[in-house]
Structure 1
Amino acid sequence: MTPVSNGRPVTPASPGSLRRMAVTLPLVLALSACGGHVKGVMQPLDLAAEPRGNAVVDMLVATSRQPSDNPATLFSGERSALPSITDVAVSIPSGKVRAAGTVQWPKKLPPNPETDFAVVRVQPLATAQQGRDWVHRHASGGHAMVFIHGFNNTYEDSVFRFAQIVHDSGADVTPILFTWPSRAKVFDYNYDKESTNYSRTALEMTLKALVEDKNIKDITILAHSMGTWLAMESIRQMAIRDGSLPKKIENVILASPDIDVDVFSRQWSELGDRKPNFTIFVSQDDRALALSRYISGDVQRLGQINPAEEPYRTKLENAGITVVDLTKVKSTDRLNHGKFAESPQIVQLIGQRLVTGQTLTDSDIGVGDGITAIVAGTVNTVGKVAATTVATPVDLLSGNIRPLPKKKPADSGATFQSESAPLN
């Protein structure tokens, strides 16, 4: 007998649907449990002096979010046609009360700067010139780091996480945060994804402003999760618009990238002949990316690949992409999605080596630490190889490699090179 509900026949779920539900439901519940901290921490503390031992991280925050008109949150998860820039400073308690890789969220408001991360300055900047003046005052060493957060992040989530990364990495950089309109709700995944598409030009303009600033010598892009999609789309758009990427964009670091491997292949190839140093942090036990894969057509996510397996290893090596595998690294994150920021060793590698353009070697990564790397070479080496062996575009990871005739697209100015030898 066919089951009936409200007078209508009910179609039984297929075994495949039941299996998918059994897998995805626990992941959705785990995601929903994240971010259960105090909200509304952006109201600056009025402190006469910082507690002894505290560090203060100054950052310039660019956003495509809608202002919230609430000083406790500053910006909402809705989209704004006009970007905003804000000077933000975060106080970080001393190492005596916090471990590297952690964000000390206050248990109640106002925060206690002796034990908690606390915002100590918020200054909206009304003009582009004010933004340039800020960069000039903070252009330490001429290295700029631009961080793009991932899915399910509020404005304050991204501010505190970036403050932790900058502090724990010891990076001598000008910190720039780009935060896009995430509603920070698990079931708004598609809204967040469309918000990254909405924000591509705003991020591109932020990068161009840094490229044109004489105080900045080089730029490192550090993107996490869904933010890696935004980063790749923005630099791809920039490369197509201008014919190539600016030389100042030297490093692109993708942490737990929530990108379909086939799509990344195309994005990477369309960056043109001159590509930055690419480093990718992956983990096969990333549960957030497992959920993303299920709701995205069951196509492998870049952040979950095993770089030691073929065809990935050979194609990554030929492309000159360094992949660091964090699968064996223990994490306090139940989803294993933020290991790059929680691992003191990895955060320090970002700050002390990758930001300055140094390529990782096998001796930098210890197997005893649970970390392994596929070190793929340098951009200079890849540039020499690309002239004879690498097709553009090439399906780098999926294995769908095909030769293309040499031609120049009318809308981009990028030169496509023909392939004289396969990558496998």
Structure 2
Amino acid sequence: MLRIVVLFCVLFLSACARPGPATLALVAPLPDAKTVSILVASNRVPAKDDFQSFTSGRSDRLRYLEVTVSIPPGHKAPNIEWPTAKPDPRTSFAVVSHRNLTKTEFISRAKERAKATPTGIFVHGYNYSYQEALFRLAQMAADSSAADVPILFDWPSQGSATGYLADRDSAAFARDYLASVLTDLGRADVRSIVLAHSMGAWLAVEAVRQLSLTGRKDGLSKIDQIVLAAPDIDVDLLSKQLAMTGRLKNPIVILAAKDDLALNLSRRLAGSEFNAGALDVNDPRTRALAVRENLQIIDISSLPSANGSNHDRFAALAAAYPQLRNERIANPVAGTGSLVLNGVGAVVSAPFRLGGALLSQ
């Protein structure tokens, strides 16, 4: 039975050809094309190629970059228009500039661009390559029309559907590095909102827990919000993690959907009863969990899924923000801390524009 489930995972998550490092090839910018500048902190091992890409190897130090991605004029949210051959900014996402940074330069750039608003930090999930994480963040930033420079924390996922167990080890390996980035940003007075997807949610909560246990308040104090999108975390484990974590300024947000097929498979393989990313907001236990752990649990089942797994719905929230930022929505679910997303996102403003005031509307 387990072999059948694993085979299904491989077929389900690898149905499409994966974008390779050549999608990062540097090309000339298209005049007047929309671009997104992204700061990257990665503990992957650099690849020995002409594309300045990364492998799935675990590095013993962080590397810092600034990458500018061009968005094609015909872009349709929340898609990523992948190049089929050499990247062409007229038809596909394309890297138009790339430079390596020192840690000092990285922090300086983050501080310079964040200014009065918090910067968004994206922590990708299981089965991501570097280029997939980079372009996904570019898509979300472009679709939300965010003015700040988002940050990608890129940990060494295998980028393979069969690499689930290896990814869990890599996520654990990366938690010190993420904690370090959060501390450095906090010391520089850079406020942040962390958006963590899938297994990256476990990594983000572990990093914050570690900051709490080690008394690094300089890192914790500047985190305005943590948003866990389809978190691949057992509910009991999440409760234990949060029990040792200092409370943040705003409740932790969980974007959940009980029909998330990838998380349901993960839950069965792990023998877990409840997965935080597949909670049912109509279940009284969910409401009790939200109140007890200071969570805001939002049902995103109404959003479309690009690959049919219902695990990538969070990417569509960015596109909803410009149209819905001024709307208010009544909470149709009785019980503190649980909300249903009506339509495409009036409760959650955008992955990089979340805040307590907006979430209380």
State if a TM-score over 0.5 links the two structures.
yes
Q: Among 56, 61, 79, which residue is 2:58 paired with?
A: 79
Corresponding residue for residue 203 of structure 1: 178
CA separation of 1:367 and 1:249: change in aligned 2, threshold 3 A? closer
TM-score by length of 1: 0.74
Corresponding residue for residue 29 of structure 1: 11
Deviation at 1:246, TM superposition (A): 2.5
CA separation of 1:346 and 1:236: change in aligned 2, threshold 3 A? farther
Corresponding residue for residue 75 of structure 2: 98
Equivalent residues in 2 for 1:152-163 (5 A)? 152-163=127-138
Corresponding residue for residue 249 of structure 1: 223
CA separation of 1:128 and 1:346: change in aligned 2, threshold 3 A? same
User: AA paired with 1:239?
Assistant: S
Q: Deviations over 1:159-194 (max 9, x none)?
A: 000001111112233311000001111111111110
Moved more, 169-178 or 63-72: 169-178
Corresponding residue for residue 113 of structure 1: 89
- The structure with the larger Rg is 1
Q: Among 217, 224, 227, which residue is 2:200 paired with?
A: 227
- Contact 1:327–1:370 under 8 Å retained in 2: no
- Contact 2:321–2:345 under 8 Å retained in 1: no
- Contact 1:243–1:272 under 8 Å retained in 2: no
- Contact 1:340–1:346 under 8 Å retained in 2: no
Equivalent residues in 2 for 1:57-68 (5 A)? 57-68=36-47
Q: Deviations over 1:362-381 (max 9, x none)?
A: 39x8865277979xx969xx
Partner SS state of residue 24, structure 2 = coil
Structure 1: unaligned runs, 5 residues or longer: 1-16, 354-358, 380-424
- Contact 1:143–1:174 under 8 Å retained in 2: no
Corresponding residue for residue 410 of structure 1: none
User: Are residue 51 (structure 1) and residue 31 (structure 2) matched?
Assistant: yes
Structure 2: unaligned runs, 5 residues or longer: 333-338, 349-354
Corresponding residue for residue 330 of structure 1: 304
Q: Among 266, 272, 277, which residue is 2:251 paired with?
A: 277
Deviation at 1:27, TM superposition (A): 3.4
CA separation of 1:361 and 1:221: change in aligned 2, threshold 3 A? farther
Q: Among 299, 303, 307, which residue is 2:277 paired with?
A: 303
CA separation of 1:180 and 1:352: change in aligned 2, threshold 3 A? farther
User: Are residue 292 (structure 1) and residue 266 (structure 2) matched?
Assistant: yes
CA distance in 1, matches of 2:68, 2:147: 16
Q: Among 11, 23, 26, which residue is 1:41 paired with?
A: 23
Deviation at 1:291, TM superposition (A): 1.7
CA distance in 2, matches of 1:370, 1:160: 22
Corresponding residue for residue 321 of structure 1: 295
User: AA paired with 1:103?
Assistant: I
Q: Deviations over 1:346-365 (max 9, x none)?
A: 5659x969xxxxx98639x8
Partner SS state of residue 81, structure 1 = strand
CA distance in 1, matches of 2:46, 2:216: 35
Deviation at 1:330, TM superposition (A): 2.9
Corresponding residue for residue 147 of structure 2: 172
- Contact 1:148–1:222 under 8 Å retained in 2: yes
CA distance in 2, matches of 1:204, 1:242: 12
Corresponding residue for residue 213 of structure 2: 240
Deviation at 1:276, TM superposition (A): 3.8
Q: Among 326, 330, 340, which residue is 2:314 paired with?
A: 340
